[in-house]
Amino acid sequence: MTRQRRSPRRSGKTDDIGMLLRGVVVLVVGSLTAFVALAFLSPPSIGSELPGHGRSSSSSSSSSSSTTPSASPSPAATTWADGSTASSSAEPSVGSSANASAGSSGGSTAPGSRATPEPSGTGSATSGSGTAGDVPAPVVGDAAAFHEDFTTPAAAGGQFASTYAGSWQPYVDGTGGKYWSGALVSAHDGVMDVAMNGTQGAAGVFGPPASAWARTGGTFSIRMKVEGGAGNGTAVMLWPTSNDASEGEVDYPEGSFSAAPAVFHHMLGADDADRAQGIRTGARWQDWHTYTMEWVPGVSMRYFLDGRLIGTVTHSVPTTPHRYTFQIGDVGKPGHVLIDWVSIN
């Protein structure tokens, strides 16, 4: 009798354990199902964009609007003056590779020399231009309102920044985890020398502190060349003071050192800012060249190479204040960007 009374209790306990195990299995399976579903349905995390697109929001110096554009951003689509299109800013290579020695081509000389570069060849004009070279060159060089020719030697590590405080406004070292101008920029032999070490980039704005960060219209010129630096690239640009790319970005010269310098005239408007009109130069980074932009707000942008008109753009011409900015990346082989002079008129 006693055994018969205990048997149902053992049976009930066994049933309880079985139900508990089944509940645990259901809970585990349900959790795994929910996890898998979320993994497939969740949107990509912020920052998953393709390399080279988007902008850095880190602070720079000397400006109330301190967001800085990233180095050499590639437009999503470029339409060249000859009607061809490309999905990036890379232009077909002209001449030898970017790590060729400076003495391997005509017009290239030792750092600091000011020999006249050889003619660059033909070039391309955009809509709105006449025949290339049929207009006089704008006022550039030491005849301009602002001119810096870097004749005073100054070492990197702070001396350059203090010596040329009236001409060069660097981004704060460490901006975006990329730019370290203080360690890389010096002056010697009559040139501004931006060193490339493959791990640090450099960036800054040309002009006096009071006006460098906000200019509307004018003529902007730089005479420069590159030695080494294979795998890197640079952009000299007019970037909106507001840091709003929809107000227009104009890059000249820009490109990888394995390709050729080119114009990238970005479209106005939030929906079109990643599209650009491209103009080929036919030049080489490894030779001395003078690159000039003449900006008439809301009317036209004219682009010159060594004083010769290579193109005019009369659409998507900025009307708001911009800053004349230099940037170089933190990748590639060692090398130097040598800047003979900069002028703004």
- Give the separation between CA 46 and CA 86, rounded to whole angstroms: 26
Q: How confident is the model at residue 43, as a pLDDT?
A: 29
Q: Report whether pLDDT(250) > 60.
A: yes
C-alpha angle 208/253/260, rounded to 5°? 155
Q: What is the mean pLDDT of residues 144-167?
A: 95
Give pLDDT, residue 343.
95
Tell me what percent of the residues of the chain surpass a pLDDT of 70. 60
Residues whose CB falls within 8 Å of the CB of residue 279, separated by 6 or more in sequence, listed in order: 80, 81, 123, 124, 125, 126, 252, 262, 263, 265, 303, 310, 311, 313
Please state the pTM of the whole predicted model.
Answer: 0.68
Q: Report the alpha-carbon distance of residue 324 to residue 235 in Å, rounded.
A: 11
Task: Find out whether 130 and 291 touch, Cβ atoms under 8 Å.
Answer: no
Q: What is the pLDDT of residue 175?
A: 92
Is the model more confident about 298 or about 8?
A: 298
Tell me: pLDDT of 25 over 60. no
* pLDDT band per the 50, 70, 90 thresholds, residue 342: very high
Does position 8 have pLDDT exceeding 90, yes or no? Answer: no
pLDDT higher than 60, residue 63: no
pLDDT value at residue 136 = 57
pLDDT at position 303 over 60: yes
Which has the higher per-residue pLDDT, 194 or 48?
194
Q: Which residue has the higher pLDDT, 207 or 4?
A: 207
pLDDT at 275: 86
Q: How far apart are CA 337 and CA 319, in angstroms?
A: 30
Instruction: For residue 76, name the pLDDT band (cuts at 50, 70, 90).
Output: low
Q: Is the pLDDT of residue 115 over 50?
A: no
Task: End-to-end CA distance of the chain: give it in Å, rounded.
Answer: 113
The answer, yes or no, to whether residue 97 has pLDDT greater than 60, is no
Q: Above 70 in pLDDT, residue 71?
A: no
Structure confidence at residue 272 (pLDDT): 80
Q: Kindly tell me if the per-residue pLDDT of 140 is higher than 90.
A: no
CB of 202 closer than 8 Å to CB of 210: no
User: In whole angstroms, how far apart are CA 273 and each of 58, 73, 77, 174, 300?
Assistant: 20, 11, 10, 27, 17
Q: What is the pLDDT of residue 117?
A: 32
Q: How many CB atoms are located within 10 Å of the residue 117 CB?
A: 21
Please give the average per-residue pLDDT across 297-325, as a whole number: 96
pLDDT mean over 221-250: 96
The arithmetic mean of pLDDT across residues 61-77, rounded, is 46
For residues 193-202, average pLDDT: 97
Average pLDDT over residues 161-189: 95
The reported pLDDT for the residue numbered 62 is 38
Residue 98: pLDDT band (50, 70, 90) is very low
Task: Fill in the amino acid letter for 191.
Answer: V
Per-residue confidence at 200, pLDDT binned at 50, 70, 90?
Answer: very high
Where in the chain does DSSP place strands (E)? Answer: 77-80, 85-86, 146-148, 168-170, 185-188, 191-196, 202-206, 218-228, 233-240, 250-256, 262-266, 275-280, 289-296, 300-305, 308-313, 322-328, 335-344
Average pLDDT, the chain: 74
